[in-house]
């Protein structure tokens, strides 16, 4: 608004009347800038003259969803952004139609986070440290992987953790509770209290993984750390170290698996998100790395995702040159390739 732009907001939780008014503004060229959630991708959202689409937190969108937004206009400019590092090889495959820019340095004023891996036996010492940090005027996060208790009791759940541990071990401190089942207004109120310093500690699920910026928070505690991929742990770790104070991330795990210990110790050894992503790819594979298969990501018959970056880059350059000369693959020498592409898309369509 200060720049004279007409701004519209579109979310899935809007009331019907407000939604109709917003959709009409977008359709009738009465909104210069539209800010929204996945709701922007839904049917019925028609842009008068969409020229630029910006997708933040791209790792939470599928490739098809990115395409759905681009299809709402005649070839708009497109910028996708993510703080979750993706290895160069996967980037070439997933974003083969885009130019990639990498920002691999901390913003000014940021402090590298110190990461430590501990067992549950050290929890009382940990909470003593948290109490000291709060005493210095800092705030802390405590993240659990579940909302409710699981039948086997193997996971820390935020509700019981909040009641039994946080309050017992931080009895004099103001502790808040955050999870995905809270109503939007409740979430906003808790987050506002934490940002404003009215809460000393926040017990939460991974809903605080992205989009949370509290420079005064200096400690991140992640319970059952073995349940997360390294990239998710790195993303959570990024919630602290956003100010000038020394910041810490504690990975709490009683899992004695050699592979688990190796993964967690690797995260303790580096703050380089791209090194973390590469290690995750090497040890877990691309399927686990993304949580679910990306639409349109082919299975490589020959190439090695870890070691063939140069070859994949050459293949991408050849594909771009070929499409520039023969975009519809109509040349006789491209007949077999065109047939293969058709089969791949038909198979993908059948699967979806």
Range 194-200 average pLDDT: 94
Cα 222–223–225 angle (5° rounding)? 75
pLDDT at residue 163 greater than cutoff 60: yes
The sign one gets for the Cα dihedral 19, 20, 25, 28 is positive
CB 114 within 8 A of CB 246: yes
pLDDT at residue 231 greater than cutoff 90: no
CB 201 within 8 A of CB 138: no
pLDDT at residue 197 greater than cutoff 60: yes
114-287 has the same fold as 7-82: yes
pLDDT at residue 271 greater than cutoff 90: no
Q: Residue 314: is it exposed, middle or buried by C-beta count within 10 angstroms (0-12/13-18/19+)?
A: exposed
- Architecture of the CATH domain 114-287: 3-Layer(aba) Sandwich (3.40)
pLDDT at residue 295 greater than cutoff 50: no
What is the CB-side half-sphere exposure of residue 283 using CA atoms within 13 A? 17
pLDDT at residue 247 greater than cutoff 70: yes
Q: Is the pLDDT higher at 67 or at 21?
A: 21
For residue 289, the model assigns a pLDDT of 47
Cα 179–184–185 angle (5° rounding)? 115
Rounded to the nearest integer, the mean pLDDT of the chain is 83
Mode of pairing for the β-strands spanning 248-252 and 201-204 = unpaired
Q: Where exactly are the structural domains of the chain?
A: 7-82, 114-287
For residue 309, the surrounding DSSP H or E stretch is: helix 309-325
- DSSP H helical segments within 174-301, as ranges? 184-195, 230-237, 258-269, 273-290
Range 294-319 average pLDDT: 68
Rounded CA-CA distance 292/75 in Å is 28
pLDDT at residue 351 greater than cutoff 50: no
Phi-psi region of 224 (alpha: psi -120 to 50; beta: other; left: phi over 0): left
What is the CB-side half-sphere exposure of residue 253 using CA atoms within 13 A? 23
The CA-to-CA distance between both ends of the chain, in Å, stands at: 41
Out of 3.40.50.300, 3.40.440.10, 3.30.413.10, 3.30.450.40, which CATH number does the structure's domain 7-82 have? Answer: 3.40.50.300
Beta bridge partners of 223: 252
Cα 103–104–109 angle (5° rounding)? 95
Choose among 144, 128, 142, 173: nearest CA to 239. 142
> From residue 240, how far is each of 127, 176, 248 by CA, in Å?
17, 17, 7
Give whichever of 127-136, 173-182, 229-238 has the largest mean pLDDT. 127-136
- Kindly write down the DSSP assignment for every residue of 51-97, as one continuous string: -EEEESSGGGS-HHHHHHHHTTSSS-EEEE--SS---HHHHHHHTTT
> 5-49 pLDDT, tens per residue?
999 999 988 899 999 999 999 999 999 999 998 888 888 889 998
113: tokens are 């986070």
CB 8 within 8 A of CB 31: yes
């Amino acid at each position: 608004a200060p720049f004279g732009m007409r701004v519209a907001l579109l979310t899935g939780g809007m009331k019907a009347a407000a939604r109709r008014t917003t959709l009409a503004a977008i359709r009738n060229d009465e909104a210069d800038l539209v800010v929204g959630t996945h709701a922007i991708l839904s049917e019925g959202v028609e842009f008068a003259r969409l020229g630029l689409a910006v997708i933040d937190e791209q790792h939470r969108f599928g490739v098809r969803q990115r395409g759905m937004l681009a299809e709402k206009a005649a070839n708009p400019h497109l910028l996708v952004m993510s703080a979750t590092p993706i290895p160069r090889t996967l980037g070439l495959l997933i974003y083969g139609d885009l130019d990639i820019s990498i920002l691999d340095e901390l913003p000014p004023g940021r402090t590298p986070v110190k990461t430590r891996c501990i067992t549950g036996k050290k929890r009382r010492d940990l909470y003593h440290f948290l109490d000291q940090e709060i005493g210095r005027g800092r705030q802390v996060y405590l993240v659990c992987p579940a909302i409710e208790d699981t039948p086997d009791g193997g996971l820390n759940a935020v509700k019981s953790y909040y009641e039994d541990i946080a309050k017992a071990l931080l009895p004099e401190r103001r502790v808040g509770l955050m999870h995905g089942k809270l109503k939007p207004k409740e979430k906003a109120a808790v987050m506002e209290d934490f940002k404003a310093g009215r809460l000393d500690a926040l017990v939460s699920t991974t809903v605080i993984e992205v989009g949370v910026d509290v420079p005064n928070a200096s400690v991140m505690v992640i319970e059952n750390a073995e349940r997360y991929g390294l990239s998710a742990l790195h993303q959570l770790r990024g919630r602290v170290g956003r100010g000038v104070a020394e910041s810490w991330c504690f990975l709490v795990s009683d899992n004695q698996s050699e592979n688990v210990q190796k993964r967690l110790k690797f995260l303790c050894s580096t703050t380089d998100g791209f090194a973390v992503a590469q290690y995750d790819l090497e040890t877990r594979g691309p399927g686990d790395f993304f949580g679910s298969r990306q639409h349109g990501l082919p299975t490589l018959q020959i190439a090695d995702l870890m070691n063939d970056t140069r070859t994949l880059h050459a293949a991408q350059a050849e594909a771009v040159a070929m499409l520039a000369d023969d975009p519809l693959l109509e040349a006789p020498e491209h007949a077999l390739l065109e047939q293969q592409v058709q089969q791949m898309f038909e198979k993908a369509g059948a699967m979806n």
